[in-house]
Structure 1
Amino acid sequence: MNISVDAGALCVKKNQTFGNAVFTSNLILALARYDKNTVYHLYAFCRLPDVIKKLRVKSHTLLPKKFWMDFRVTLEEWLRPKDVFLAVNQAMPAFIRSKVISFSHGLSFYHFPHLYKQDYTRLRAQLHRMVSKSQHIVVSSQKVKEEMLNIFPDRNNIHVIPFGIPLDMEKPTKQGEKKKIFLFVGMDHPVKHVQFILDVFLEFSKNKAYSGYSLLLVGPFSRISNNSKRILCVPNASRRQLKQLYRTCLAYVTASFYESFNLPVLEALSQGCQPIGLSSAIIPELSPYVYVAYDKNTFVENMRRVAEGERKNIEYGKLNKEFSWKSYVEKLQQLYLV
């Protein structure tokens, strides 16, 4: 079987390797590791990372970048159609003869259109096209499936397959002494609600007992960290550096208005970093492992509890079984044949 994969999400700048880029790279690595009988063709508009090019996959650099999916990928699929097209980032060719399996990464733009003023129209059109043209739609949580069914109640081709723990963080490193640091990792996008994180940290640190704590933002947040000695920023962190930060920081904090999964929470858990999250940022599948807050007061209180030594009792064997890339690939393979 020949299957094409949209790997365009890997063509991003170093400080933008969050979300879709992490998912795409892990999916490709997992397909190469766990599915030896399928030939995967990766489509991108850049030179793919060496770690990807060394895999048992076929890489295709398709140019030009302009109108890439609607023209160049469409042309490739028309001339050399595959058995299945994996629309990893929701977009798909304008015309395609192959079976299409699309991956929906949530509906934040649908619920918060005012936060996506420049992209809302495009994303909405992409959603409707995906639903009408896909043989199967894969989502990462039951929450997203229910939301999709509220919009498209007649669909019976939406499948929940939770992400696996990123493959470079499958094995937790040896735990050392935690530093007095609260960590956030992500994009500087309004939906991430970073101002809330700043507000609760400042409220938490008003207590003299916690004056030695810091907030570390990983991502393009230099403009924020310049205003405070206790709010730090790492604009670009490698995956190895990020793993080290999860291992050494006291807790991971998140307050997004919406998340379809929230992969950094799973990354943090895998490395023994206790997550604290606003309820809107935590899907039900992850909530047993997280100190969930419902407003600023309960968020600050959870920060205090973790600072005083409280932690969720996490069974790493159960976590690895529940969020497994091997299981992800096995469930995806079943859809190839349906």
Structure 2
Amino acid sequence: MFLLSDKNIDLVCTGVPFSSDELLNLSSLHLSERVFCYPASEYDLARLYRDALCFVYPSFYEGFGMPILEAMSYGCPVVLSNTSCFPEIAQKAGLYFDPTEIDDIHEKMKIMTGDVALRHYYIEEGYKRIKSFSWEKCAQQHIEVYKSLL
């Protein structure tokens, strides 16, 4: 729906390649030349995050949203499900949607890609939020938990 309404935006998915049925659906919608999916290396991901208008994460369940932190660290604004751990991770650095509502996902993608000032706001909030996370901090918190158990 979003891609049909904005002919200037392409969609890049990473991970498992599209199935035959998904490729047929894209072809029937004339989106084969604008929607891409491929396994991405860390180098590819860094480039994609830097070049993207936004990172969209329509997941229902996650243990932890590491891709959210990755996107924010590269200055990529995030558009996220309002479920799972996402609101806790991104807090006010993310624009949220209901993953069960296609119209809501469409609207939030349209808002983020269409408003440069808003994108810059979320980029800055992302940079602020990412400072709350580090492997050193994670290790220290684990040490504190272990100490409390002794």
TM value normalised by structure 1: 0.36
Q: Which has the higher contact order (CA 8 A, sep 6+)?
A: 2
Q: Structure 1 residue 249 and structure 2 residue 52: aligned?
A: yes
Q: Write the letter of the residue equivalent to 2:65.
A: N
Q: Structure 1 residue 334 and structure 2 residue 144: aligned?
A: yes
Deviation at 1:264, TM superposition (A): 0.6
User: Equivalent of 1:233, from 15, 31, 37?
Assistant: 37
**Largest Rg, 1 or 2:** 1
Q: Secondary structure at the match of 1:286?
A: helix
Superposed CA deviations along residues 303-338 of structure 1, whole A, max 9, x for unmatched, are 11122122224262x324311211111111223433
5 Å-filtered alignment, 1:147-158, equals none
5 Å-filtered alignment, 1:199-278, equals 203-207=1-5, 210-223=6-19, 224-225=22-23, 227=26, 228-235=32-39, 237-278=40-81
% of aligned pairs identical?
28
Deviation at 1:275, TM superposition (A): 1.0
Q: Are residues 301 and 320 of structure 1, via their aligned partners in 2, closer, same or farther at CA, if it must alter by over 3 Å?
A: closer
Deviation at 1:217, TM superposition (A): 1.0
Q: Are residues 283 and 220 of structure 1, via their aligned partners in 2, closer, same or farther at CA, if it must alter by over 3 Å?
A: same
- 1:289 is matched with 93
- 1:121 is matched with none
Measured in 2, the distance between the counterparts of 1:239 and 1:215 equals 19
Greater per-residue strand proportion? 1
Q: Are residues 283 and 260 of structure 1, via their aligned partners in 2, closer, same or farther at CA, if it must alter by over 3 Å?
A: farther
Is the Cα contact below 8 Å between 1:219 and 1:233 reproduced in 2? yes
Deviation at 1:263, TM superposition (A): 1.1
Measured in 2, the distance between the counterparts of 1:233 and 1:277 equals 19
Is the Cα contact below 8 Å between 2:73 and 2:126 reproduced in 1? no
Superposed CA deviations along residues 227-285 of structure 1, whole A, max 9, x for unmatched, are 422110122x2212211111111111111121232111111111111111121252323
Greater per-residue helix proportion? 2
- The Cα RMSD (Å) is 2.0
Q: Secondary structure at the match of 1:299?
A: helix
Q: Are residues 320 and 257 of structure 1, via their aligned partners in 2, closer, same or farther at CA, if it must alter by over 3 Å?
A: closer
Is the Cα contact below 8 Å between 1:255 and 1:280 reproduced in 2? no
Measured in 2, the distance between the counterparts of 1:297 and 1:246 equals 24
Deviation at 1:222, TM superposition (A): 3.5
Q: Structure 1 residue 314 and structure 2 residue 125: aligned?
A: yes
5 Å-filtered alignment, 1:41-120, equals none
Q: Write the letter of the residue equivalent to 1:243.
A: A
Measured in 2, the distance between the counterparts of 1:220 and 1:262 equals 18
Which runs of 5 or more structure 1 residues have no equivalent in the other structure? Answer: 1-202
Superposed CA deviations along residues 172-201 of structure 1, whole A, max 9, x for unmatched, are xxxxxxxxxxxxxxxxxxxxxxxxxxxxxx
- 1:55 is matched with none
Measured in 1, the distance between the counterparts of 2:136 and 2:56 equals 28
Is the Cα contact below 8 Å between 1:251 and 1:275 reproduced in 2? yes
TM value normalised by structure 2: 0.77
Q: Are residues 204 and 320 of structure 1, via their aligned partners in 2, closer, same or farther at CA, if it must alter by over 3 Å?
A: closer
* Equivalent residue pairs, number: 132
Measured in 2, the distance between the counterparts of 1:225 and 1:274 equals 28
Is the Cα contact below 8 Å between 1:276 and 1:290 reproduced in 2? yes
